[in-house]
Chain A
Amino acid sequence: MRKILHILVHPSYEKSRANRVLMDHLPTSSYLTSRDLYELYPTFAIDHKQEQEQLLDCDVLMIQHPLYWYSSPPLFKQWMDSVLEHGWAYGEGGTALQGKTWVQVLTTGGDQKAYSEEGFHKHLLSDFLLPFQRTAELCHMQYLSPFVLQGTFKRNDLQLEEEGKRFTNFVECLLSEEKHG
C-alpha cells in the first residue's frame, strides 16, 4: 500500500458541483490524508514546516484543483513557493521528495475538444500543465498524467456520478500499487 496526501485547492469549493462529487467519492482509508488548503490557510500564511512534514510522510502527492487561467488557483502557487524550498525539495541537497509521485486531479469547464489544437484553447491540456510537470521533475518526483474531469458546465448529475466512480477507482489503484524499491 502507498500513502496518499490529497490536497484540495479551491477558493469557492461550496459553489463547485464537480469538485464536490469528486470529494464525495474520495475513498476513506487510513493511507489517505486529505487537506483543504483554503480552509487551512485562508489568509495565505502557509505553515511550510507542517506542510513539509506532511509531504515527508506520503508516497503520492495528489493535488485537486480547478483550472483557472491555465493554471492552479493562487494558493497552490503560494504553496509551491513556500513549501518546495531550495536545499530541501530541489537544488543542492534537495532530495526530500525523491521517488515520490506527483499527480493532479483537474476539473475544467471546457471539454476535451476545447483543449485541442483545433479547439478554443488551441493547445492540449498537457501543454498548459508543463510548469507543473517541470516542478515535479526538478523535485525528483515521478510525474503522472492527471485525472481530468472536463466539460463540467454541461454534465448532468448522473454523468457526474459516473465520473465520481471513475475517480474512486483511480485513487484505489494508486493506493494499492506497491512502493518502488
Chain B
Amino acid sequence: MGEANFFIQALVYLTAAIVMVPIAHKLGLGSVLGYLLAGIGIGPAVLGLVGAEGQSLMHFAEFGVVMMLFVIGLELELNLLWKLKVWLLGLGGLQVVLTSILFAVLAFLFRIEMKPALAIGMILSLSSTAIVLQTLKEKGLMKSLSGQASFSVLLFQDMAVIPMLAIFPLLTTASITNESDHHSSFIQQYPAYIQTLIVLSAIIAIIILGKFVLSPLFRVFASTGLREVFTGASLLLVIGISLLMGAIGLSAALGTFLAGVVLASSEFRHELESDIEPFKGLLLGLFFLSVGASMNVNIVFQNPIKMALIVCLIVFGKALVLFLLGIVFKLPLDQNLYFALGLSQVGEFSFVLFSFSEQNGILAHDLVSLLVAAVALSMALTPIFLLLYEKGVKRYLDDNASQKKESDKIENEENPIIIAGFGKFGNMIGRFLRVNGIQITVLDYDADRVAMLRRFDFKVYFGDATRSELLLGAGAEKAKLIIAALDSMEKQKELIQVVKHHFPHLKILARAGDREEAYDLKALGADLVYRETRETAIELGIDALRNLGFRNYQARRAAFTFLKHDTDSFEELYKHRNDRKTYISLAKQRNAELERLMRVDIGESEEGSDIGWSRMER
C-alpha cells in the first residue's frame, strides 16, 4: 500500500463519482443512487477496479455519517420543531413505529429471528431525506400540505436514527459477540449502574462544554481571522467527540449530534455548517460509493423474481402505512397520494444502519446485500412513481370534479383578474389592483398564507393553480386577465400551457426570473412577460447615480432610456434566442448602441441643444 496506490484509488473513486453522479442527477434519480451505481461500476461485479479494500474504506467513510449527524444537529431549529410538533410527533412518530412493526413482522414471517427482524423493521422505516426534499424543492411543493407532511416525517426519521443507533448494539445475537470484542470499550469492566452513570455524565459534559466552553473558544478562533484555523477547530471538535464517545462505548453519531444541537444556538452555527459541509459531502459520497462497491450484485440476478417481490413489498408496505396515516391526519386525496408515494423509498441512512448491523453481527452479509439492493431499487422507483402519479392519477383526480375536496370551493367568481401565486410578487400586484378598485381572485398553494390573507379580506383560494378545474371555478371563462406569479418556474410553465389550452381567450401576464426564463414563458404563449428584478435594479441604479451627483430628473431619464432600449432589444433578441452566435453578436451591438445613446443624452457638449437658438438670435 504505497502512496501511489492511494492516489490511484482516489483517481478511480473520484472519476467514477463525477461520471455517474451528474448522469443520475439528470435522470432525476438523485445523487445517492449515482454514487451507488458508480460504486457498483468500479466494484468486483463490473470493472473490478477496487476489491477488498473497499470494505476498509467504508469504515473510514462512515465518518461522513458522523459529520452528517453533526450537521443535522446544527440545523435543528427548536422553533420549527415546536411549530410542527403535532405532525412531527404524530405523523412522523407513528410512521416510524408502525412501519418498523410492519416490516419486523414481515421479516419474522420470512423466518428471520426476532432481533434481526426488528433491526430490519427499523431500518426500512426510514425514507430518503436527500431524494424527497430535493424533489419537493424542485417542484415548489415545500409549502404544500404534502410537502409539510413529508418534511415533518423526514425530520422525525432523522432524529429517530439517534435512538436506533443506541438500540442496535442490544440486538446483537449472542453467537457473534466474540467477534465484536475488539469494539468493546474500557467501561465494560464496570457494573451496569456505573456504566450508565459514566454515559450520562459524558452527555452532560458535552452539553455543558458546548454551552460554556466551545462558544468562547470558537470566538477566539474566529477572531484570528484565519479561516483554516476555524475549519481545523470544527474538524477537531467532531473527531474529538467521536473518540470520546468511542472510548465510553457510545455511538459517535449520538455525541456529535448532541454537540450539533448545543451549538445550533450559537452565532457560529452557519460558519460551522459550511466548514463541515464539504467534508461531510465527500465522505458520504465515498461511503455510498463503497456500499456500491461492496455490494453483491449477483444476488439481484440470481433470483430476479424474489428481488422484485421484496422491492414491491417494501415500497407498497411503506406507501400503505403512509397513506393510512395521511387519511388519519386528514390529508386531501391527491396530497396524500403524493405524500405516500414520495416517501415510499428507503433512505440513504439505511446503508449506514445496514453496515453497522453487519459489523455488529446483527445481520448476515448476504441478507444485507439483498436488502441494500432492494433499497437502491426502491430509490430508483420513486421518480418513476411520481411521474406516473403526475401524468396519470393526478390528471384523473383533476378531471373528476366530485373528488376535489382538497381545494377550496369557489363559488363562480366573475372577477376580471385571476392572480395565480400570491407570494411577495403576487401580493404586491394584488394590493395595487385592490386599492384601484379592481376585483381579483387569488389562487395559492400555501395553506398558511391563504389563511393569513383571508384575515386581510382578500379573496384567496387554496389550490394548485395549474389545474384547469380550479381555474374554471375561479372564473377563468369570464375573466379577462390571468397573472402568472407562481414561485416555481416549472409550475409557471405548466400554468401557461394549461391556460393556453383550456382558456385561450385569457391574456397572460407572467412573472419571470431572468431573461432566459422570460424567453421560455413567452415562447409558451405568455402575452406579456416581466423580469421580476428589472425595475428594482434600475431603481437602485437611479439612486446610485444620484449619489454620484446626478440630478434626479437626469437619472430618471437615463433609466427611462435604458428600460426602453432593454424592452426593445428583448423583443429583437427573442427572435434570435435559439441561434447563439447571432444572439451574442446582436446583444453586443445593441449594448454599444445604448452606450452611445446614453452619452448623447447626458450631453457631452455643453448647451448642445441650444446651439440652434444662439445662431438665430445673434
Contact = CB atoms under 8 A, between A and B. Distances in A.
A28 interface: no
Contacts of B614: 109, 153
Contacts of B556: 42-43
Contacts of A147: none
A119 B99 CA distance: 101
A37 B613 CA distance: 25
B249 to A, nearest CB: 74
Q: Is the interface of A mostly helix, strand, loop or mixed?
A: loop
Given A12-B609, A38-B553, 7 more contacts: A14-B551, A14-B554, A17-B606, A38-B551, A39-B552, A110-B613, A153-B617
Given A12-B603, A114-B617, A109 B610 contact: yes
Contact of A109 (B557, B603, B608, B617): B617
Given A15-B607, A16-B607, A17-B606, A38 B617 contact: no
A15 B557 CA distance: 15
Contacts of B609: 12
A15 B613 CA distance: 16
B617 A39 contact: no
A40 B556 CA distance: 12
Nearest to B613: A109
Interface residues of A, number: 20
A120 interface: yes
A11 interface: yes
Interface of A: 11-17, 36, 38-40, 42-43, 109-111, 114, 120-121, 153
Contacts of A121: 617
Report, as a range, how many residues of chain B touch the other chain: 10 to 19
B411 to A, nearest CB: 40
A38 B603 contact: no
Shortest 10 CB-CB contacts between residues of A and residues of B:
A110-B617, A153-B614, A38-B553, A42-B556, A42-B553, A42-B552, A39-B552, A114-B617, A109-B613, A120-B617
Interface in B591-618: 603, 606-610, 613-614, 616-618
A40 B618 CA distance: 35
B555 interface: yes
A151 to B, nearest CB: 8
A111 B618 CA distance: 8
5 contacts: A12-B609, A13-B551, A36-B551, A39-B553, A111-B617
Contacts of A38: 551-553
Given A109-B610, A153-B610, A12 B554 contact: yes
B607 A42 contact: no
A63 B618 CA distance: 27
B327 to A, nearest CB: 57
A38 B199 CA distance: 75
Contacts of B608: 15
A17 B551 CA distance: 15
A110 B555 CA distance: 29
Nearest to B557: A42
Nearest to B559: A42
Nearest to B603: A15
Contacts of A15: 603, 606-608
A131 B613 CA distance: 23
Contacts of A12: 554, 603, 609
B612 to A, nearest CB: 10
